[in-house]
Chains A and B, each alone.
Chain A
Amino acid sequence: MTKDIPKATIAVLLVLTILVSIIGTWTVLESISIKEATPAEKIIGKVDSNIKLSIEEKLEPVETSANIRFEIK
């Protein structure tokens, strides 16, 4: 009959598992924090902007009128 792995070995492995989990989680969170701190540079990138100025002209000659009136009885 094969000798079973000692429980102490299992316990060490478990502790290692916990440490790896903690360290892994901490590393992911640190990575996310870096992304959140610099979103503009990472996402938007270079932007070119154009300003278009359109001038509309209504310059035709115009007329307006007034009335002068009376009545002779």
Chain B
Amino acid sequence: MEEISNKTLAILLIAAIVISLGGTLISLNRLARIKVPIVTGFLPGAPEQAIVQLEITSLVQINFTTDTIDWGSGTVATDKNFCVLNSYDAAIGANCTSFTANTAGLVLENVGNRNVTLNITMQKTAANFITGTGPVCKWNMSNLESNSCPGIALTPGAWQTCATTAVVVCNSTGNGFLSTDGNDTLNFDVLVQIPGDAAPGAKSNVMTASAALI
């Protein structure tokens, strides 16, 4: 039998080397793409704990979105005993001079997400607010958005005397003053009667609305 030449042996050896190196390189390349558990920190079969935290805020909050009634400055007409200003007429009272008419009352909205009871307190009585003989300060409440106060404690539109003690407007019966959008806004109109002998000067009063969770 004729023996294989040295040249053939050399070719076979080179082929063996190339194949071996190629296989090694391919193996290393594939291994590099595999994540080893020790490197990632995850141990096979070890329990892992994940916490998903969800925070829901429950809020009691009300806000006067219209918070000022300002009739400007003026006088009671000469030879008249008093003049009347209100927050819903386009014209000032017949006996009033130079004041600015107001056509919108105070607007109170429940901007929280809970139904509340609602009380109204005035900073001053009519005597302290306006002075003079027989001054009048009154306010009333109505639903600016329908059914905003199903727990109504007053007759809508009925005048209430300005008092420094709290007047309950919406009580817990019927869920009080609602927080539901579209049913969460009240209107407060104010009326003042200024006597002709009221002391001149700036007059101010503050209406405070207090809300408490039902």
Contact = CB atoms under 8 A, between A and B. Distances in A.
B59 interface: yes
B78 interface: no
Interface residues of A, number: 51
A14 B8 CA distance: 11
B19 A43 contact: no
B202 A69 contact: yes
Contacts of A61: 60, 210-213
B74 A22 contact: no
A26 to B, nearest CB: 8
Contact of B73 (A7, A59, A67, A72): A72
B74 A70 contact: yes
Interface of B: 1, 3-6, 8-9, 12-13, 15-16, 19-20, 22-24, 26-27, 30-31, 33-35, 37, 40, 42-64, 66-76, 85, 98-99, 106, 108, 112, 114, 188, 190, 192, 194, 198-213
A70 B203 contact: yes
A66 B206 contact: yes
B3 A59 contact: no
A58 B62 CA distance: 13
Interface of A: 6-8, 10-11, 14-15, 17-18, 21-22, 24-25, 28-29, 32, 35-36, 39, 42-73
B3 A73 contact: no
A62 B62 contact: yes
A7 to B, nearest CB: 5
A30 to B, nearest CB: 11
B55 A54 contact: yes
Contacts of B98: 73
Nearest to B196: A72
B31 A67 contact: no
B156 to A, nearest CB: 19
24 contacts: A7-B5, A11-B4, A18-B12, A25-B19, A25-B24, A32-B34, A48-B50, A49-B51, A56-B56, A58-B57, A59-B59, A60-B60, A61-B60, A61-B213, A62-B62, A63-B210, A63-B211, A65-B209, A66-B66, A66-B69, A67-B69, A68-B106, A70-B203, A72-B74
Give the 10 A-B residue pairs with the shortest CB-CB distance, closest first. A25-B23, A71-B73, A70-B71, A61-B212, A45-B45, A57-B58, A66-B67, A69-B204, A66-B64, A14-B12
B41 to A, nearest CB: 10
